[in-house]
Amino acid sequence: MSGEARRRAAVHSGRLVPGPAGVRKYGYRPDDYPHAHRVGQRLLSLPLTPGMDETDVRQVINAVRRVVGRHAPC
């Protein structure tokens, strides 16, 4: 199996709004921050780290291009 086939997408949350702890402790809700919540729902975190070599980075770029190409408006 190639490195590209093993690479997986993951959700990495750099929260724009308070998470579950903020909800429990302070009662925050997504509609308290509608714009930040909407943006947070559309963010994409790419698997790019300092330990990746040029081949790894190219694989990520190519994967993004394939996905964007499939979902681009005609």
Residue 45 has pLDDT above 50, yes or no: yes
pLDDT for res 28: 84
User: Could you give phi then psi for residue 5, rounded to 5 degrees?
Assistant: -70, -30
This prediction has a pTM of 0.49
| Percent with pLDDT over 90 in the chain | 11
pLDDT for res 2: 45
- Measured in residues, the chain has a length of 74
- Domain extent for 45: 3-71
Distance CA 63, CA 50 (A): 19
Span 7-37, pLDDT tens digits: 555 555 566 677 778 788 888 887 888 888 8
The count of domains in the chain is 1
